[in-house]
């Protein structure tokens, strides 16, 4: 028994912990809430996020040979495990943003998408995942997007972090990130009234295209109030050291359609970044719904008319 214990104690470590900071190469400022994925021969086997100071602690398994660091507005950087330094610099995308101008005489807005309302239907939302919804452009002409809204299930003493994401639509599926040069898509949520969240995203400089766009949320995790680090393991500890799930739930509405619906809801996990999942197909579709019924998240955008 003694020999067995000695053997266990001296087993080689299989996890390498390393502290890093993600910085902008241009101005050396921190890049907050950057995505960091762990790669084993180009297969994603995990990941984490930097905190608001651009700092993160890597937990690298022995089979990890690369990490990939990305953030909207920057070029994705792939680094070999042996070349990871304490400071990592990202290069900004150099494409220029189109300048948005508003007519001060015409500032009325219209809401597009699903209504934000109380509902008993909720989807659990794990950190490192995205849920997006296709928003049709009923104007059939480009419009400036003012805000993004959704309904969040009640949370206590938790600071959840979300990224607002946009994707172009090709044949009903999300294609590439839309307006990937923005760097203003991260939001840390504090207390909100009746859990109805309305985010001012005008600073993201997003124009709703004629053909519509996928819009939604990437749930990053929660902010540890002591360390300021992102907790992305879907659990947090209360003051009494009781472990509770930190996953957030978002409201969904029931929609009916006799034909292929115009509302496409997709899901993507950090561990499965290469493909999107249709939320309204088995095994993800709720078995209690009729064949022509679908759950869609209560996402919506406000645009200037």
What per-residue confidence (pLDDT) applies to 254? 84
What's CA 296's distance to the chain center, in Å? 17
First to last CA, the chain: 76
Dump pLDDT digits (tens) for 91-113: 988 765 555 565 655 678 999 98
What are the sequence ranges of the domains in the chain? 11-90, 109-304
Report the percentage of the chain scoring pLDDT > 90. Answer: 27
**Do the first three CATH levels of 11-90 and 109-304 match, i.e. the same topology?**
no
- Calculate Rg over the CA atoms of the chain: 21
Give the dihedral sign, CA 225/227/228/234.
negative
Average pLDDT over all residues of the chain: 81
Residue 141 predicted with pLDDT over 50: yes
Question: Is residue 40 pLDDT above 80, yes or no?
Answer: yes
Check whether 74 has a pLDDT greater than 70: yes
Confidence at residue 265, expressed as pLDDT on a 0 to 100 scale: 83
Q: Is 136 exposed, middle or buried (0-12, 13-18, 19+ CB in 10 A)?
A: middle
Of the two residues 252 and 96, the one the predictor is more confident about is: 252
Question: pLDDT: is 279 or 89 the higher one?
Answer: 89
Q: What is the pLDDT of residue 237?
A: 44
The architecture that CATH gives domain 109-304 is Sandwich (2.60)
Instruction: Using a cut of 0.85, tell me whether the model's pTM lies above it.
Output: no
What is the assigned CATH class of domain 11-90? mainly beta
Given 3-state DSSP classes, what are the helix, strand and coil percentages for the chain, each rounded to the nearest 5?
5, 45, 45
Which phi and psi (to 5°) does residue 241 adopt?
60, 25
**Cβ distance 301 to 149 under 8 Å?**
yes
Kindly report the number of other CB atoms within 10 A of residue 185's CB atom.
24
């Amino acid at each position: 028994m003694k020999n067995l214990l000695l053997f266990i104690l001296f087993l080689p470590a299989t996890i390498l912990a390393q502290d890093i900071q993600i910085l902008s190469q241009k101005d050396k400022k921190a890049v907050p809430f950057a995505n960091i994925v762990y790669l084993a021969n180009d297969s994603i086997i995990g990941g984490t996020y930097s905190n608001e100071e651009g700092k993160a602690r890597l937990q690298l398994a022995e089979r990890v040979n690369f990490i990939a660091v990305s953030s909207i507005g920057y070029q994705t950087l792939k680094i070999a495990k042996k070349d990871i330094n304490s400071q990592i610099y990202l290069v900004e995308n150099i494409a220029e943003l189109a300048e948005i101008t508003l007519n001060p005489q015409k500032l009325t807005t219209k809401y597009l998408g699903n209504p934000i309302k109380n509902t008993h239907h909720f989807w659990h939302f794990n950190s490192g995942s995205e849920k997006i919804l296709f928003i049709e452009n009923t104007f059939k002409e480009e419009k400036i997007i003012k805000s993004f809204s959704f309904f969040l299930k009640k949370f206590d003493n938790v600071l959840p972090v979300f990224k607002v994401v946009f994707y172009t639509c090709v044949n009903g599926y999300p294609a590439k990130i839309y307006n990937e040069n923005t760097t203003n898509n991260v939001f840390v949520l504090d207390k909100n009234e009746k859990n109805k969240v309305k985010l001012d995203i005008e600073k993201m400089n997003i124009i709703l295209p004629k053909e519509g766009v996928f819009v939604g949320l990437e749930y990053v995790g929660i902010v540890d109030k002591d360390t300021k680090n992102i907790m992305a393991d879907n659990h947090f500890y209360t003051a009494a050291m009781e472990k509770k799930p930190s996953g957030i739930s978002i409201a969904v509405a029931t929609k009916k359609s006799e034909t292929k619906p115009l509302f496409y809801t997709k899901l993507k996990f950090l561990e499965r970044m290469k493909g999107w999942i249709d939320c309204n197909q088995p095994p993800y579709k709720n078995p209690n719904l009729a064949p022509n019924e679908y759950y869609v998240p209560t996402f919506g955008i406000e645009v200037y008319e």
